[in-house]
Amino acid sequence: MLVGLVGLLSVLDGVNLSGGQWHDLFIPVQRLAYVLAVMVTSWRFGAGAGWLTGGIMGAFILAKYFFPVELIPVRIVSFNFLVELGMMAFGGIASWFIGKYRESELKLHQSETDLRTAIKEWTETFNSITDPILILDSQQKILRGNLACNKTFGAGLEGIAGKYCYQVIHGIHEPIPNCPHIEMVRTGQTCSLEYLEPATESIYEITASPVFGEKGDIVASVHIYRDITETKKMQERLIITDRMASLGELAAGIAHEINNPLTGILGFAELVRDRDLPDDIRADVDTIYREAQRTATVVRNMLTFARRHPHAMEAINLNELIHRTLEFRKHDHATANIKVMCSLEPEACQVTADFSQIQQVLLNLILNAEYSMKQAHSGGNLNITTRRLNNFVQLTITDDGLGIDKSIAGKLFNPFFTTKPEGEGTGLGLAICHGIIQAHGGNIWIESEAGSGATFFVELPLAA
């Protein structure tokens, strides 16, 4: 609009209105419009555009000084001509400053936008990480934490800044033993620690990594808390499986070695028993025979434990197998005051397995549960469930018996580990169960607390 105004005024001036009554009014207006037009164009489109506009408008304005040609020498030395030139020079310089200012302002605006985007992206990334992360200062005070801290530790993010990490995470008033932060400050390197959180019994891998300042000193640290409870359990199960495999080899060898002399002992003991014997000697021979038989049972169990590959694989209905096995124990449950509850998912029942081996596992787990409940309070509640979990059927057997102390939980599947008095347990039951379930491509593990009963989990692959 301003450019148009300058153009119009220049044309009017050029067609000889300059000497008229409007001259005194539109010449200042024209000059003002010129300067404004140059400044606005520079502001809006940059210094180059300002100069171009100023040049074009200047040509219009100066045109009148060059017509008619014979007056050029007089006009170009006139005061007005000099003022017009001064005005254009001013417009050009103003245009340059405005353009530069505008350019730096645009750059600043762009940097602010980039910064805001970067902060947004960083915060979203920080909060989308599912492992809790804390940023601490060198004194172990929290600077910030991601959303996962909220979920895992129930720590409100607003309230935690400025508190010590051990207060917020572990609820204590001094650093945890072997604190990785202290170690990191000492060594200047990333330090990790596996830490069992007593309150939740979760195992965390805590990694503290240093953040260095310009002078190379540690100004902050990044702490990542990874819950490795499940990984640890899995590792333990793998260790047990591995141990079982070597023990299986050993057991098979020993069992075969013992079997031959044992067959001889049993056979000859039977021959001696058939003879006419004085009562005291008969009693001794009976003891020999009975104990040899007991040893033969142990050897048989050892061979079952050592056997890797399941035989007679067929599609079996796990729920039906549970009902049939419970039938065996029905009478004992009634007399021992044991209440059985089953929650069996109908569609979770088809597995490919050896019926008698899985029944052996089930029976062994039920007998152990019964024993534990009878010891704890002469009866109790036995819960059996099945459910489908991805490509597996998960069976659980829960009792409210004695439970298992943490100190022995890792040994339960070891062959010959028993807490039962002599004569009542061989310690082979769970080892055999483990061997059978592994051979079926499944998993077996336990969750328990002393005094609160136990739950055995068995997972078997669903029938294809």
Interface with ligand ADP: number of residues (CB under 6 A): 21
For the bound state, the minimum distance from the C-beta of residue 455 to ligand ADP, rounded and expressed in Å, comes to 9
Contact call for residue 382 and ligand ADP (CB under 6 A): no
The H-assigned helical ranges of 221-379 are: 229-274, 279-306, 318-335, 355-377
Contact call for residue 417 and ligand ADP (CB under 6 A): yes
Contact call for residue 386 and ligand ADP (CB under 6 A): no
CA distance 324 to 253: 34
Q: Which of 50, 380, 401, 442 binds ligand ADP (CB under 6 A)?
A: 401
Q: Is 157 helix (H, G, I), strand (E, B) or coil?
A: helix
CA distance 250 to 255: 8
Residue nearest to ligand ADP (CB): 429
Contact call for residue 295 and ligand ADP (CB under 6 A): no
For the bound state, the minimum distance from the C-beta of residue 299 to ligand ADP, rounded and expressed in Å, comes to 15
Q: Which is nearer to ligand ADP, 392 or 413 (CB)?
A: 413
For the bound state, the minimum distance from the C-beta of residue 182 to ligand ADP, rounded and expressed in Å, comes to 40
H/E stretch holding 205:
strand 202-212
Q: Which is nearer to ligand ADP, 166 or 416 (CB)?
A: 416
Q: Which is nearer to ligand ADP, 19 or 421 (CB)?
A: 421
Q: Do 46 and 102 meet the contact criterion of CB atoms below 8 Å apart?
A: yes
Q: Do 453 and 403 meet the contact criterion of CB atoms below 8 Å apart?
A: yes
Stretch that binds ligand ADP, among 56-64, 177-185, 196-204, 420-428 (CB under 6 A): 420-428
For the bound state, the minimum distance from the C-beta of residue 458 to ligand ADP, rounded and expressed in Å, comes to 13
Q: Which of 372, 385, 386, 443 binds ligand ADP (CB under 6 A)?
A: 372
| CA geometry: angle 26, 29, 31, nearest 5 deg | 110
Q: Which of 357, 368, 386, 443 binds ligand ADP (CB under 6 A)?
A: 368
Contact call for residue 379 and ligand ADP (CB under 6 A): no
- Dihedral sign from CA coordinates of 282, 283, 284, 287: positive
Contact call for residue 98 and ligand ADP (CB under 6 A): no
Stretch that binds ligand ADP, among 203-211, 254-262, 300-308, 426-434 (CB under 6 A): 426-434
Contact call for residue 409 and ligand ADP (CB under 6 A): no
For the bound state, the minimum distance from the C-beta of residue 259 to ligand ADP, rounded and expressed in Å, comes to 21
CA distance 187 to 181: 10
For the bound state, the minimum distance from the C-beta of residue 456 to ligand ADP, rounded and expressed in Å, comes to 7
Q: Which of 454, 458, 459, 460 binds ligand ADP (CB under 6 A)?
A: 454
Residue 338's beta-bridge partner residues?
380
For the bound state, the minimum distance from the C-beta of residue 412 to ligand ADP, rounded and expressed in Å, comes to 4
Site string for ligand ADP, 326-365 (x = CB under 6 A): --------------------------------------x-
CA distance 163 to 134: 11
Q: Which of 420, 441, 451, 452 binds ligand ADP (CB under 6 A)?
A: 420
Q: Do 142 and 164 meet the contact criterion of CB atoms below 8 Å apart?
A: yes
Give one DSSP letter per residue of 28-74, joined into a string: HHHHHHHHHHHHHHHHHH-HHHHHHHHHHHHHHHHHGGGSSGGGHHH
| CA geometry: angle 433, 228, 458, nearest 5 deg | 20
Q: Which of 14, 46, 175, 425 binds ligand ADP (CB under 6 A)?
A: 425
Segment 28 to 57, residues that bind ligand ADP, using CB under 6 A: none
Tell how strand 350-354 and strand 313-317 pair up.
antiparallel
Contact call for residue 306 and ligand ADP (CB under 6 A): no
Residue 98 makes CB contacts below 8 A (sequence gap 6+) with 39, 42, 43, 47, 50
Contact call for residue 369 and ligand ADP (CB under 6 A): yes
H/E stretch holding 311:
none
Which among 217, 437, 321 is positioned nearest to 445, based on CA atoms? 437
Q: Which residues of this chain interact with ligand ADP, rule CB under 6 A?
A: 364, 368-369, 372, 399, 401-402, 404, 412, 417-420, 425-431, 454
